[in-house]
Amino acid sequence: MVGFSVNGKRVDLDVDPSTPLLWIIREHLGLTGTKYGCGMAQCGACTVHINGEAVRSCVAPVSRATGKAVTTIEGLSPDLSNPLQRAWLEEDVPQCGYCQSGQLMSAAVLLREKPRPTDEDIDEAMSGNVCRCGTYLRIRRAIHRAAETVAKEGAR
Under the rule (CB under 8 A), what is the footprint of other proteins? 16, 19-20, 23, 26-28, 30-40, 42-43, 45, 72-74, 76-78, 80, 85, 88-89, 92-101, 104, 122-124, 126-127, 129-140
Strand ranges in 19-87 using DSSP code E only, listed in sequence order: 47-50, 53-56, 69-71
Least distance in Å: CB of 136 to other proteins? 4
Least distance in Å: CB of 73 to other proteins? 4
**DSSP character at residue 115:** S
Which C-beta is closer to other proteins: that of 54 or that of 93? Answer: 93
Q: For 119-149, what is the HEC assignment?
A: HHHHHHHHCCCCCCCCCHHHHHHHHHHHHHH
Which C-beta is closer to other proteins: that of 4 or that of 26? Answer: 26
Residue 125 CA to residue 88 CA, distance in Å, equals 17
**DSSP character at residue 154:** -
Which C-beta is closer to other proteins: that of 4 or that of 83? Answer: 83
Least distance in Å: CB of 81 to other proteins? 10
Which C-beta is closer to other proteins: that of 4 or that of 102? Answer: 102
For helices 119-126 and 100-113, the axis angle rounded to 10 degrees is 130
CB 64 within 8 A of CB 50: yes
Least distance in Å: CB of 135 to other proteins? 7
